[in-house]
Structure 1
Amino acid sequence: MKVVIIGGDAAGMSAAMEIVRNNKSAHIVVLEKGDIYSYGQCGLPYVINGKVPNTEELIARDVEEFRSKYDIDARIFHEVTAIDTKLQKVSGHDVNSKEPFEFVYDKLLIATGAAPSMPRLENADLKGIHMIKTIPQMNKLMEQLPNVKHVTVVGGGYIGLEVVETVRERGLDVRLIHQGSQLMSVLDPELAKIIYEEAISKGVDVLLNEETIGFEGEQVVEAIRTKTGTYPTELVIVATGVRPNTQFATGFAKLENGALIVNGKMETSIANVYAAGDCASHYNRLKQQDDYLPLGTTANKQGRIAGLNIAGFNQKFNGIVGTSILKFFDLQIGMTGLTNDTADKSNALIEAYVMEVNDIASYYPHPSKMKLRMLVEQQSRKLVGLQIVGKHGVDKRIDVFATALYNEMTFEELLDLDLAYAPPFSGVWDALMQVPKRYGKKD
């Protein structure tokens, strides 16, 4: 069996390893546009502040290991530009020499991930304007950072906040420009306010409701221009979201953003072609529909499922509930399930419980407050979503709630969970169980 995998990172190599383990007769060719395999993209921002010493630390396995140890035909600088699904072949060219190539396949996996999206901004080609989705992009940024004192970050989402923190911890002045009215647009405004206050307290210059329209400078960026003003800076990092790398894949069913629609087996709309990771759709168990929430955990899981099915098994990816967490200076920001906006689209009556609770027992030294917002479906009492902002203990509560969501638990069942308790870790009633209104309406 000839297997071609496009993309040598999380989803692609998770799939490749499952095929290696479970189908010894398979011949695997991996076509990677760059020259780096299997690295932790989520760790890139922490190279800036030195928590990760260098980008090489993020590489789990290099290309030579896949070739020599696992007998995978792992190619580098091979950019795929077309797929002929009738003849079952992929074609493209070498990035450096431009020499064309073709590979036929029995099974094909598209695992091309996503690319950072650069808005259409004036003078975006000036030196000193960066995006940081790959190791080469981060290396380029790190070459210039020692020569600047002021950085502007465009975008107040996950990556934008992580970059703001790590640049500031490097000792540089930071301005954060965000088009929306609050940081982390998916959060409830009351929780987002805490993040804004944290940024201000750490010396970050935060500009909200500012739409960036371009940059100024001769050869190097010297200022960033919005609809309301011009702000001097020495370096810019743009973090305004990502788009799936699927432009070359024509004839497939896709989401509006270009992500390839897949079923539970990771099969696309065309026979013998699979997709996984940030270039594919992600079934949302709560929405009961295809969604797009690109995360490294999901990419690895989808890649594993795709690999097992290509190897001859019958495995299913059971979907996501939308769980994520973020560190921002002294805060932990976690969420899982639906937000107010997405819950409203379900046409269900939703109750929201907002609380401020301690992360540990109140009498134990150094308790800290967590702001918690829980959504519950009014009639069924099923759990719908949770957002938490606090200094400690957010990860534990988010993971517990995500597990409850996955298993379609009700609010009352959540209260019955046998959770770990000791004063240094929790109050006798865990933070998740301190909702003022403990029960639904009586019959």
Structure 2
Amino acid sequence: MNVVIIGGDAAGMSAAMQVSRKRKDASITVLEKGGIYSYAQCGLPYFIGGEVDKSEELIARPVSFFREKAGIDARVFHEVTAVDAENKQVSGTDLNSGEPFSVDYDILLVATGAGSIFPPFEGRDLEGIHLLKTIPDAEAIVEDLKENVLNVTVIGGGYIGLEVAENLVKDGRKVRIIDLADRIGNVYDKEISEKIQEEAERNGIDLVLGESVTSFEGENGRVSKVVTDQGSYNADMVVVAIGVKPNTGFLEGTGVHLHPSGAVLVNPYMETNIPGIYAAGDCATQFHRVKQKDDFVPLGTHANKQGRIAGINMSGETKAFKGITGSSVMQFFDLTVGKTGISENEAKELGMDYEVIGYDAAAIAHYMPGNSPLFIRMMKDKTNDKLIGMQAIGKKGVDKRIDVAATAIYHGMTTEDMENLDISYAPPFNTAWDPVQQGARRL
């Protein structure tokens, strides 16, 4: 059985290892466009900020491990440009030699991830303008920061933009964030993102909101200004972090069905509509348990799970991906910010009959040293009392509450069910009524 996997990161190698363990008769070829396998993309901002000393620390397993320990034909710098679904063949270019290649398959997994969005701004080729998606991207930023870079502009106020901004400030840089939206962190409800904005401003970040970047200007071939539809701003360096899109363009003409986002549509077994072709990770859809439809939420946790499940099914066994609840958490200076389920805007878009409350709580008993406030927004479906979303922000205790809510949403629990949960309590760890249960009682 010839198994070909396009993409050597989380989803691709999770699948490859499953096939390697379960099908000793399988010949496994992995085609990776870059030179690094299985690395922690989520750790890149912390390498830029110096919390992670060496980029090698972000690599889970080197290419040599897969070749020598797992018997996988793990190729690097092999870019796939086409798939012939009828003749079961992939083709592309060996980027080292420039020569074309082709590989036949019996089973194919598309695990190509997502790439950074970089609009065709005038001046985008100037030195000092960076994207952040790979270890080489991060290494280039770190190297560039040595060039007397004091003022950095980050374009985009989402997860990556905020984490990059935080780490650059901690590294002693002056940072500006420019975002087309009228608030940063706008995947969160307004009451939460307002607190993120306050934390950004408290740490000296200059926020330019509601402006659209149009071009870059430079001096001696290096960026010196970011130009928007309303003004221009000096910059020694720019990091563009306005989102990602699935790497699926090479599937054109295959007949593989795509989501409006461009992600490959998959069923619970990671199968596409074309027999023998699977997809997983940031290039594929994820079924959202609250929305009850396919969604595109590219996160490393999903990629690892989907890759593992794809590999199990490619090996002849049967296992289903049960879907996501939309959980995430991030650090932003002294705050932790988390969410699970859907936001209020998403509930409106879905036409749901919902009720939402925002309330203050305490992470631990109020009389304990180190106590700090939490702000929580909790939302339920009024038709059945089920929890459908929760967001929280505070200095400590956010991750615990988000994970409790994520578990509740996954299992379709009502707010009454949540009141009855037996959640651990001792004054250094919690309040007698957990903050999540306090909200459940009020809804």
Which bin holds the TM-score, normalised by the shorter protein?
over 0.9
Look up the match of 1:235: 237
Look up the match of 2:307: 303
Look up the match of 1:244: 246
Equivalent residue letter for 1:132: L
Look up the match of 1:60: 60
Question: Could you say what secondary structure the match of 1:93 adopts?
Answer: strand
Query: Contact 2:123–2:216 at 8 Å: present in 1 too?
Result: yes
Q: Which moved more, 1:204-213 or 1:287-296?
A: 204-213
**Residue 185 of structure 1, CA deviation:** 1.0
Equivalent residue letter for 2:434: D
Look up the match of 2:344: 340
- Aligned 1:343-362 pairs, distance under 5 A: 343-362=347-366
Runs of 4+ aligned structure 1 residues displaced above 2 Å come to 345-348, 435-439
Cα distance in 2 between the residues matched to 1:23 and 1:89: 21
Question: Could you say what secondary structure the match of 2:378 adopts?
Answer: strand
**Residue 366 of structure 1, CA deviation:** 2.3
Cα distance in 1 between the residues matched to 2:402 and 2:442: 19
| Residue from 277, 282, 288 that aligns with 2:281 | 277
Look up the match of 1:134: 134
Query: Contact 1:253–1:268 at 8 Å: present in 2 too?
Result: yes
- Aligned 1:105-124 pairs, distance under 5 A: 105-124=105-124
Query: Contact 2:356–2:379 at 8 Å: present in 1 too?
Result: yes
Cα distance in 2 between the residues matched to 1:174 and 1:32: 34
Look up the match of 2:395: 391
Look up the match of 1:160: 161
Cα distance in 2 between the residues matched to 1:330 and 1:394: 12
Equivalent residue letter for 2:134: T
2:409 is aligned with 1:405: yes
Equivalent residue letter for 2:91: S
**Residue 346 of structure 1, CA deviation:** 2.9
Query: Contact 1:375–1:383 at 8 Å: present in 2 too?
Result: yes
Question: Could you say what secondary structure the match of 2:145 adopts?
Answer: helix
Look up the match of 2:270: 266
Look up the match of 1:38: 38
Question: Could you say what secondary structure the match of 1:432 adopts?
Answer: helix
Equivalent residue letter for 1:196: Q
Equivalent residue letter for 1:421: Y
**Residue 437 of structure 1, CA deviation:** 5.1
Cα distance in 2 between the residues matched to 1:347 and 1:153: 35
2:322 is aligned with 1:318: yes
Task: Map Cα deviations across residues 165-200 of structure 1 (whole Å, 9 max, x no partner).
Answer: 000000011111111111111211111111111011
Question: Could you say what secondary structure the match of 1:222 adopts?
Answer: strand
Question: Could you say what secondary structure the match of 1:301 adopts?
Answer: helix
**Residue 120 of structure 1, CA deviation:** 2.5
Question: Could you say what secondary structure the match of 2:238 adopts?
Answer: strand
Question: Could you say what secondary structure the match of 2:245 adopts?
Answer: strand
Cα distance in 2 between the residues matched to 1:400 and 1:237: 35
Equivalent residue letter for 1:315: K
Question: Could you say what secondary structure the match of 1:13 adopts?
Answer: helix
Query: Contact 2:357–2:378 at 8 Å: present in 1 too?
Result: yes
Cα distance in 2 between the residues matched to 1:116 and 1:300: 20
Cα distance in 1 between the residues matched to 2:165 and 2:67: 38
**Residue 97 of structure 1, CA deviation:** 1.6
Task: Map Cα deviations across residues 413-441 of structure 1 (whole Å, 9 max, x no partner).
Answer: 011111111111110001111128546xx
Cα distance in 2 between the residues matched to 1:75 and 1:191: 44
| Residue from 333, 354, 369 that aligns with 1:329 | 333
**Residue 55 of structure 1, CA deviation:** 1.0
Question: Could you say what secondary structure the match of 2:11 adopts?
Answer: helix
Cα distance in 1 between the residues matched to 2:124 and 2:106: 42
Cα distance in 2 between the residues matched to 1:196 and 1:2: 51
2:24 is aligned with 1:24: yes
Look up the match of 2:213: 212
Cα distance in 2 between the residues matched to 1:348 and 1:210: 32
- Aligned 1:53-92 pairs, distance under 5 A: 53-92=53-92
**Residue 33 of structure 1, CA deviation:** 0.5
Unaligned runs of 5+ in 2: none
Unaligned runs of 5+ in 1: none
Task: Map Cα deviations across residues 99-124 of structure 1 (whole Å, 9 max, x no partner).
Answer: 11111111000000000001231111
Aligned length: 439
Look up the match of 2:6: 6
**Residue 208 of structure 1, CA deviation:** 1.1
Query: Contact 1:412–1:438 at 8 Å: present in 2 too?
Result: no
Cα distance in 1 between the residues matched to 2:198 and 2:405: 26
Equivalent residue letter for 1:166: N
Aligned-pair identity in percent equals 51
Question: Could you say what secondary structure the match of 2:191 adopts?
Answer: helix
Cα distance in 2 between the residues matched to 1:170 and 1:358: 31
Cα distance in 1 between the residues matched to 2:442 and 2:191: 22
